[in-house]
Structure 1
Amino acid sequence: MEFAFLAVTAFLAGLIDAVAGGGGLVQLPAMFSAYPGLSPATLVGTGKVASLAGTANAALRYGRRVRIYWDATLPAMVSAFAFSMAGAYALTLIPAGPLRKSLPFILVILLVYTVAKKNLGAEHAPSLSGGKERAAALLAGAAIGFYDGVFGPGTGSFLMIVFVRVFGYDFLHASASTKVVNLATNLAALLLLAAKGHVWWQLGLVMALANVAGSQVGSRLALKHGSGFVRRVFIVVVTALIAKTAWDAFSR
């Protein structure tokens, strides 16, 4: 019964992640609910199996249809990989409680900014180049990569707003780059947690199949309806994430 329940949530997480990021806020709480006796590191590690599969599928679909701007995406990907592995190692040593409590406040700022800037992400106009672009990508990848390794939910939403606000991408191109960087963070965290024995492979593989199915649906919708659709879904997802993270952090 728990496997079936988590397969459904993994499908929804894959769909949401493929469009706007934030699927981890569906998937990870469901895993904590289904298996409260497992260690947080094992739950996160098992969830990474599903997230990696879905993100890889979405990255491939976007890569075939949307140009990926590697000058920013590649440095962010490299630093995100390294710092996600560091974050996953930290997860095995420290509690994630303080980070969980700060997340809703960070998301509120992100939502207010996105809603206030009505033209944000409507046009694709890259705003950085050369050394400044690489430095910004390395810094953003490091910060968000560490967060994804140590906790994770909302990583795709944070990456989206960085590529839109800092690099000047529209929401569709930002979503494509987000999938590539998120692929690196998921892989790094999974490698570290698997090496430490924090992956339940049977459950992870069931959820991976469901996550890929959801990712197929989500990426198809995003590619069909474009940046405006991705922006609207992004706002809805972030609003839901604020409510969910606030409830998890302060009411339970």
Structure 2
Amino acid sequence: MFEVSIEVLALLLAAGFAAGFIDAVAGGGGLITVPVLLIAGANPVTALATNKVQGLFGAATAALTYARGGHVNLRAQAGSAAIAFVASILGALLVTRLPVELIRLVLPVLLVAVALFFALKKGLNDSDRAARMAPAVFAGTMVPLCAAYDGLLGPGAGSFYMIAFVSMAGYGVLKATAHTKLLNFASNAGALAAFAVVATPWWATGLAMGCAQILGARAGAALAQKQGARLIKPLLVLTTLTLAAKLIWDLL
């Protein structure tokens, strides 16, 4: 039934739980699941596609958990989610037409800049600030940019959603985290729709990992709601710098 042995599946389930927890708090769960999928024998394209399958469950669970906590109105985000879905498909389709290698070179620099912003910005907490963009403008610019990147490459998309909500929408850290989850779900779904055409995900394994993601995401979102920026900021900085270091390592 599964594409891997029971022993390997157990490792993948543990990775799914850990990734769900981290993704629900700060994003970056793919840092755990993609390498483990590669170790399990998936080729790079299959690993990325399977990661999208299981990641859908974690993002959806986190979005629902934050919504129940009163930190996000999912119905109000429906339009932005639809934009993210379409933009991520377009990003995936443009992978052969855009300078992907150049983007890979610039990406670590952008991720380090994101980490420094959250580490050094004074007064960055769970309190909202003045927005620099109207909601409609944000939905028409920041959302499709982040979602298209998610479809095109993917690593760090959650961090880019976060910094957009904090710096442009004026959201506090916890509220920004809550608002990234439905958009992450939508852009993951769009990317998976594109991947399903050109790749063969491990569907059974991905669905099993998705169940583990649900448990991890519920635990992570619950803890984040209790701790707020005290937990989210340092974990976001850590995961973003780790991702930047991994990308630099891959380039070298």
TM-score w.r.t. length of structure 2: 0.87
Which of 103, 108, 112 pairs up with 1:104? 108
Question: What is the aligned-residue RMSD (CA, Å)?
Answer: 2.4
Please say if residues 71 and 133 of structure 1, whose CA atoms lie closer than 8 Å, have aligned partners that are also in contact.
no
Task: Give 1:9 deviation, angstroms.
Answer: 1.7
Give yes or no for contact 2:27–2:159 (8 Å, CA) kept in 1: yes
Larger displacement relative to structure 2 (202-211 or 159-168): 202-211
Match of 1:158 in 2: 160
Partner Cα distance (2:131, 2:73) in 1? 12
Of the three residues 188, 191, 201, the one matched with 2:190 is 188
SS at match of 1:153: coil
The 1:231/1:26 distance shift into structure 2, 3 A limit, reads same
> How is 1:1-252 mapped onto 2 (pairs within 5 angstroms)?
1-35=7-41, 38-40=43-45, 42-68=46-72, 73-91=77-95, 97-128=101-132, 132-250=134-252
Percent identity of the aligned residues? 36
Preserved contact between residue 144 and residue 159 of structure 1 (Cα < 8 Å): yes
Distance 1:236 1:111 in 2: 8
Q: Distance in 2 between matches of 1:195 and 1:248?
A: 27
Corresponding pairs, count: 246
SS of residue paired to 2:131: coil
Local SS of the residue matching 1:169: coil
What secondary structure, in the 3-state scheme, does the structure 1 residue paired with 2:71 have? coil
Q: 2-side partners of 1:103 and 1:173: how far apart?
A: 25
Whether the 8 Å contact between 2:115 and 2:236 is mirrored in structure 1 is no
Deviation at 1:160, TM superposition (A): 0.9
In the TM superposition, what is the alpha-carbon distance from 1:33 to its structure 2 partner?
A: 3.3
Q: Residue 194 of structure 2 aligns to a residue in which SS?
A: helix
Q: Is the 8 A contact 1:73 1:137 kept in 2?
A: no
1:208 to 1:92, Cα distance in 2 relative to 1, 3 A: farther
Code of the aligned partner of 1:17 = D
Q: Distance in 2 between matches of 1:117 and 1:94?
A: 33
Shift of 1:217: 1.4
- Mean alpha-carbon deviation: is it higher for 10-19 or for 195-204? 195-204
CA contact (8 A) 2:158 2:184 kept: yes
Give ranges in structure 2 of 5+ residues lacking alignment: 1-6
Task: Give the deviation of 1:241 after TM superposition.
Answer: 2.0
Alignment TM-score, normalising by the size of structure 1: 0.87
Task: Note the alpha carbon deviations across 1:160-202, whole angstroms, 9 max, x for none.
Answer: 1111111110111001110011111011112222244532211
In structure 1, list runs of 5 or more residues that go unmatched: none
Q: Name the CA shift for 1:157/1:164 in 2 (closer, same or farther; >3 Å).
A: same
* Partner Cα separation in structure 2 for residue 172 and residue 14 of structure 1: 17
Given the superposition, is the C-alpha separation of residues 227 and 70 from structure 1 closer, same or farther in structure 2, using an over 3 Å criterion?
same
Q: Deviations 1:29-64 (Å, cap 9, x if unpaired)?
A: 32233325x252x22221111100111011000001
CA deviation map 1:51-107 (0-9, x unaligned): 001110110000011332679845542322111111233458889544333321111
Letter in 2 for 1:110: V
